Amino acid sequence: LHGVPELIISDRDPRMMSRFWQTLNTSLGTKLNFSSAYHPETDGQTERVNQVLEDMLRMYCMDQQYKWEEYLPLVEFAYNNTYHSSLKMAPFEALYGRKCRTPVSWDSVEDRVVIRPEILTEMEQQVKLIRERLKEAAD
């Protein structure tokens, strides 16, 4: 969906360290970085997202813990469409350059035709804005 990654940061799962994955990633031009054993903070950003998703799943599944897999798509949707202070927008909006269209928002959807150069300009502005916001959040 989003192309071949340039870099993958992974724990030391034997599957990721296997000859097959090493060869595949080399042939795709993807660099593999492995975190230090027993130091999950090596990939702190991913660990934080995982913690948030676990907390969200826990809230959805309080009385029906065995159904967590059924709730996972709802949690993913909620996470991707929730405002993130580091981005100053939702991840969906950062990725696609527009708010997610949901049944709740159908009454406010504008019918407009966007020509290609306008889309490119909007996306360039969006990327610039996101980079600025991420830099502010990191500082």
Question: What pLDDT digit, counting tens, does each position of 5-40 carry?
Answer: 999 888 888 888 899 999 999 999 999 888 877 776
Amino acid letter, residue 86: S
The answer to pTM > 0.85 is no
Q: What is the largest CA-CA distance in the chain?
A: 53
Domain residue ranges in the chain: 1-34, 44-80, 83-139
**What length does the chain have?**
139
Q: Which residue is listed with tokens 């992974």?
A: 10
Q: Kindly state the helix (H) or strand (E) to which residue 33 belongs, with its residue range.
A: strand 31-34
**Residue with token string 């406010």:** 108
For 59-110, how does the pLDDT look when each residue is reduced to its tens digit (9 = 90+)? 888 878 888 898 899 999 999 999 999 889 999 999 988 889 887 665 554 5
Query: How many C-beta atoms surround the C-beta of residue 39 within 10 A?
Result: 10
Query: Which residues make Cβ contacts (< 8 Å) with residue 84, sequence separation at least 6?
Result: 90, 91
